[in-house]
Amino acid sequence: MSSWRLPLEVCEDIIDHIPPRHILTSPVIFGISGDRRPPGHLTYRRDLCACALTCRSWVPRTRIKLFCYVLLNSPKSGQAFVEAISASPELGWYIQCLSIGTSHNRYQVKRPSEGWIYKVIQALPPITPNLHYLEYCNLPFPHPIFIALSAQFVTVKSLHLNSMRGDTPRRLAQILSAFKNVKELTITDPRFERDLIGRDFYYGRAQRPVNLNLVLGRDVDADRYNLHELLIKSGLCGSLRKLSLEINKSQYPLLDSLVPHCSRTLRVLFISFPSRVAEESSLTFFHILRLMGLSHSKIEHLSVAIPTREPIIDICDNMDDLPSSLVTLRLDTGMPFPKYSSSWAGVKRCHVSDSVLAGDRFPKLRSVELRFRDLVDVRVKERSPKRRSHKRSPSPVEPSGWNLSTKTEEALRSADRKGVFKDIFPNLYSKGLLWCGHWTPSVPQSVIFCVSGEKKWESRLTTRYEDL
């Protein structure tokens, strides 16, 4: 009895219609795969390689998907890539996105040589006419040859500089001036050996990018580098569209000086506060809004992650501090979903904010997302006196006050069945704008559940900052 198989036409349609999201999460990694592997990339690559070996007519179909996004993160992968391109130069036509560099490790004393990167860059430009996305990760700019080679990428429209290293910001200015046709620039965690001087940064005659995205982690000392002065004096604030900050104490000047200068162009704002910083500074949600003066800005997507115990209360006070152009409002909390009820004392305050958010002041508002942390995996060890090594250590116990056996998703479902969200936010609930969900530190994307509207409990991946 023959096994059941799909028709060839159906298989070809499946290969041709692989979503771009799956392509970008499954890059070709030549040689040894490094630490920057996206999850699930091996599955798609293995399946596409099997398709290429199954039928000769499928080879060009699979090549388009396999070489759409190429990731090079080691000397071995760079050498394998150069050999493959030299043997088959037509493969360069399929490359649309390219990421070059090593994984960043601040504790690494001896860094590997970057000589292989020059060979890759030197061999690429003539054979990659469709390359529009280029990412440099954890690379230095010590030599003018690097700048000259980078200037050959005339087709690049989107440039990403991730954890770049240099002695002064002049190196950063030189690499920006080399790309003449860049329309979107993303700078993530820049690191310089010497303190920044505002006049040391000269952008050159290159065309300014239409969209500038700035991502700063908690390890970046913004006060030492004077990043707010750097961006203001260089004129890059006029292009800033996305801003992501993982706040530490040194980055407070970015809130009260940088954001007001970018209020006309800024559209996406993502702010995250570690629990220790939030406790020391006693910041609340609307303290941040007042500090930045966002009421007159044109921000469309606002996401604030602050570990507060009352996330619903935080959006109830001083609604006038929110910009009227909001499309998405997302609040992340470091606490699990609390046991709210219809007799909760803060219901009246929530009714006021509910009527404002669902009213005429926010005509473009499409969703209000509340995300609670999932503490199912948390374990705390009990202190015990010293014992001999042959005896077992005490087993983990649950900390008092947490019910670790109840998942956050089940708590949200139970609250919705009891009508808690309908009582707290009646207007948002009736219009289908209220979303709730949970997030886990080990999972890059959390799940948001719709607790209102016709599409009830339809799970979806929450909108990532990079996709906005």
Say if residues 99 and 71 touch (Cβ distance below 8 Å). Answer: yes
Q: How far apart are the C-alpha atoms of 244 and 54, rounded to whole Å?
A: 45
Which residue is listed with tokens 């006029």? 238
Of residues 214 and 195, the one with the higher pLDDT is 214
Say if residues 91 and 70 touch (Cβ distance below 8 Å). Answer: no
Q: Given the DSSP bridges, would you call strands 268-272 and 301-305 parallel, antiparallel or unpaired? A: parallel
Domain ranges of the chain: 1-103+116-131, 139-265, 267-286+299-377+403-468
Say if residues 21 and 39 touch (Cβ distance below 8 Å). Answer: no
Q: Given the DSSP bridges, would you call strands 447-450 and 460-461 parallel, antiparallel or unpaired? A: antiparallel
Over residues 210-226, the pLDDT tens digits come to 677 777 665 555 555 55
Mean pLDDT of 357-374: 82
Q: If residue 262 lies in a helix (H) or strand (E), which one and from where to where? A: none
Say if residues 381 and 392 touch (Cβ distance below 8 Å). Answer: no
Say if residues 65 and 46 touch (Cβ distance below 8 Å). Answer: no
Mean pLDDT of 131-160: 80
Nearest to 448 by CA among 370, 366, 358: 370
C-alpha radius of gyration, the chain, whole number: 25
Q: How far apart are the C-alpha atoms of 301 and 465, rounded to whole Å?
A: 9
pLDDT-based confidence at 379, cuts 50/70/90?
Answer: very low
pLDDT-based confidence at 339, cuts 50/70/90?
Answer: low
Q: In this structure, what DSSP letter does residue 257 have?
A: I
> 182: which 2 tokens?
């860049």
255-259, 260-264, 382-386 — which is least confidently predicted?
Answer: 382-386
Q: What share of the chain is helix, strand, coil (3-state, %, to 5)?
A: 40, 15, 45
Angle, CA of 181, 187 and 192, to the nearest 5°: 120
Q: How far apart are the C-alpha atoms of 251 and 63, rounded to whole Å?
A: 45
Sequence letter at residue 294: L
Of residues 467 and 411, the one with the higher pLDDT is 411
> 79: which 2 tokens?
């050498």
Residue 218, helix vs strand vs coil: coil
Over residues 53-107, the pLDDT tens digits come to 777 878 878 777 778 888 888 888 888 888 888 888 888 888 888 888 876 444 4
Residues 6+ away with beta carbon under 8 Å from 143? none
Q: How far apart are the C-alpha atoms of 332 and 308, rounded to whole Å?
A: 9
